[in-house]
Amino acid sequence: MEARAVKQGGRLAPRLFSCCLALSLALGGCGAREQRFQAQFLGPFDTVTTVVGYTKQKERFQEQVQFLHDELEQYHRLYDIYHDYEGVVNLKTLNDHAGQGPLSVDRRIIGLLRCAKEMEALTSGKVNVALGSVLSLWHGCREQALSDPLSARLPDDRALRGAAGHCDLSKVMIDEAAGTVAILDPGLRLDVGAIAKGYALREVCAQLEEQGADQLLISLGGNVCAIGGMDRARTPFSVGLLDPQSGDEQRYLLTLGLQDCTVATSGDYQRYFTLDGVRYCHIIDPQTLYPARHCQSVSVLARDPALCDALSTALFCLSPEEGLALIESLPGVEAFWLLPGGGRRQSSGFSAAVLEGESLLP
């Protein structure tokens, strides 16, 4: 259930522009009035970023979008575990260096790993960025199944159990004063896919706010973050949670009102492979070492994009009952589950954020 920005009373048509910025003036008007602008780009984190903003000058919006793009691209390179970039020590460099002592890294890597440790503790290990060795076995099977469905297979159980012995996040040592990180276990591999986008959004949105941004809505691969609201009165942005069953029709399960708030969604319907009629998605329960199957999707609503991203992945690995208990223990955090049969669950304060509920459903 990917969240998409929706226009009041209508939809923003998704448009993709490969590796370039695109800007559209969605409403006309004279120079003195605030206007609505929209931009999309593809690149950072290998996904589409959509930005909606209200400003008096188009140039101001363009500057904000350019800044967002350039910053996200830097975070993407730092957190990439698959590619090397000239002159950049990134997470691939760290993984390749596992067991070989500390490496000097960018402060944005230290910040992310500190946040990852907090999130691991908060979720009792359900979201664990040290799970890379296990995740790569599933990643390999998914790639193989997608390129040649007849050769689809599951990871070997012994290999999974072996990899699970190298997922101890406490073996990732951060020396903040020295600006270094050391992976003590040579078999440990970092994979920050569960939290990287949310963490990067948190950092870049804070910078945008410092620069005066106060009416921006940013959607980055399942994470939608509102800086301020749609107008000076801080009217919430409308954000639809997509119904994964609706296919190309793109119906919404419900519409949320977001103002200085983020919603992050984790689901089983975008990255998965199928074998013998069973869907194997990309979110792995660290205890079973198998894809979690408690729900179709779960969305988390809170002020902090990093927390939302981490919690949505963690809740996907918990039963709705366990997840609900966790969410209810956290002030200012709400969640919504779409269960396997289409049933729904939500936390006690979630409905306060719903602008249009059941009436939007077909």
In the annotated binding site, the residues are: 194, 309, 313
Residue 129 binding target from ligand AMP, Mg ion, none, CB below 5 to 8 Å by type: ligand AMP
Distance CA(25)–CA(39), nearest Å, equals: 9
Segment 30-35 long-range contacts (CB within 8 Å, at least 24 positions apart)? 31/56, 31/57, 32/56, 34/215, 34/231
In whole angstroms, the minimum distance from the beta carbon of 111 to Mg ion comes to 17
Would you state the structure tokens that stand for residue 268, as one six-digit string?
A: 């089983």
Which one, 35 or 265, has the nearer CB to Mg ion?
A: 265
Q: Which does 294 bind (CB under 5 to 8 A by kind): Mg ion, ligand AMP, none?
A: none
- Choose among ligand AMP, Mg ion, none what residue 160 binds, the Cβ cut-off being 5 to 8 Å by kind: none
Of 83, 79, 84, 82, give the one whose Cα is nearest residue 111: 79
Tell me which residues in 254-283 interact with ligand AMP (CB under 6 A). 266, 282-283
Q: Which stretch binds ligand AMP (CB under 6 A): 31-39, 147-155, 172-180, 307-315?
A: 307-315
Using the minimum distance from each CB to ligand AMP, give the nearer residue, 65 or 201: 201
Task: Rule CB under 6 A: say whether 347 interacts with ligand AMP.
Answer: no
| Inter-residue contact 338 to 297 (CB < 8 Å) | yes
- Closest separation between CB of residue 347 and Mg ion, Å? 17
Q: How many CA atoms lie within 13 A of 243 on its CB side?
A: 20
User: What CA–CA distance (Å, rounded) separates 311 from 211?
Assistant: 28
Instruction: Assess 135 for contact with ligand AMP (CB under 6 A).
Output: yes
Which residues ranging from 188 to 207 are in contact with ligand AMP (CB under 6 A)?
191, 193-194
Is residue 313 a contact partner of residue 264, using CB atoms and an 8 Å limit?
no
Q: Where does this chain touch ligand AMP (CB under 6 A) — which range of 12-20, 38-46, 126-134, 165-173?
A: 126-134
What residues form the annotated binding site for Mg(2+)?
A: 194, 309, 313
* Cβ pair 45, 57 in contact under 8 A: no
CB of 314 vs Mg ion, minimal distance in Å: 8
Q: Which does 243 bind (CB under 5 to 8 A by kind): Mg ion, ligand AMP, none?
A: none
Query: Exposed (0-12), middle (13-18) or buried (19+): which is 86, by Cβ within 10 Å?
Result: exposed
